[in-house]
Amino acid sequence: MEITITSNYDEMSRVSAQIIAQEIQRKHDLVLGLATGDTPIGTYKELVKIHKEEGLDFSKVKSFNLDEYLGLAPLHKNSYNYFMWENLVKHININPENVYIPQGKIKDPEQFCTWYEAQIKKVGGIDLQILGIGADGHIAFNEPGSSFASRTRIKALYKQTIEDNARFFDKMENVPRFAITMGIGTILEAKKILLIANGKKKADVCAKFIEGPVTSQLTATALQLHSYVNIVLDKDAASKLKRTEYYNWVRDNKHLIQKEVGR
Ligand code: GLP
């Protein structure tokens, strides 16, 4: 896992958008895994800026979102479908037919989950998966106890997640209790992963998932089992890490590897 500690939210957003843009420039038909939440809003703004100012081309990109609330139609203001449209899709030149987001209001959700997994396979898998992290350590909606082998499925939301989500809904009764989410197994099959986190409220969970033991009780620790993970944090989210000095040294001294090889 490569860890980059940035000075604030804006820098975290710029650095993560640059990583995504480079991957799209490298592979024009990139399959991008997308996340929702407050954390990636700045990253998406930066991507829109790179698209508008530097012509970053999304015309061949395909995207797959991690999750959606069960029961919310795409036009519901709190749905992740609506979020993606407002924060990214409508501002770039991605073909809407290539935008895959789980559907929350669907007759047969289980059949949908199987179909969604099949679509990911059909395009050759996800090249770069973007992730945020929940306060209980979840990635997507893989709540504590989710199997590391899990695939796209319906998941009951944890109490902490329901409380965190309550801020977006008028009444507690309206906060969804279930979601459709990619599984940990689905996420671990992405070729590359980029996790972003910011703010003091994420400091504990970031220290645990980066430096703590691997456990399904904190599902982001599954990322320790992946061979290519970029983690971009702001300094508040990184404030409880123990090996910061090492992470910074590695980031600043990568060029020395070439020098060593030529010795
Ligand atoms: C939800 C989403 C996650 C996201 C998390 C954190 O639970 N399912 O994908 O990472 O929220 O959200 P925020 O970025 O608002 O802290």
Residues 220, 227, 229, 127, CA torsion sign: negative
pLDDT of residue 255: 87
pLDDT tens digit sequence for 155-211 = 999 999 999 899 889 999 999 999 999 999 999 999 999 999 999 999 999 999 999
Confidence band of 257 (pLDDT split at 50, 70, 90): confident
Rounded distance from Cα 36 to ligand 1 centre (Å): 6
Residues 98, 26, 186, 241, CA torsion sign: negative
Closest C-alpha among 99, 98, 69, 97 to residue 86: 99
Question: Among 129, 138, 236, which residue has the most ligand 1 atoms within 8 Å of its CB, making it the best to mutate?
Answer: 138
Rounded distance from Cα 22 to ligand 1 centre (Å): 24
pLDDT of residue 259: 84
Give the residue whose CA is nearest to atom 12 of ligand 1.
37
Pocket of ligand 1 (CB under 6 A): 35-39, 66-67, 132-134, 140-141, 161
Rounded distance from Cα 20 to ligand 1 centre (Å): 19
Distance CA 31, CA 12 (A): 22
pLDDT of residue 82: 97
pLDDT(262) > 80:
no
Give the residue whose CA is nearest to atom 9 of ligand 1.
140
Mean pLDDT for the chain? 96
Give strand pairing partners of 6: 234
pLDDT(121) > 90:
yes
Residues 66, 14, 2, 165, CA torsion sign: negative
pLDDT(116) > 80:
yes
Give the residue whose CA is nearest to atom 6 of ligand 1.
134
pLDDT of residue 208: 98
pLDDT(86) > 90:
yes
Q: Catalytic residues, which ones?
A: 67, 136, 138, 143
Closest C-alpha among 156, 171, 67 to residue 113: 67
Atom of ligand 1 nearest to the CA of 141: 8
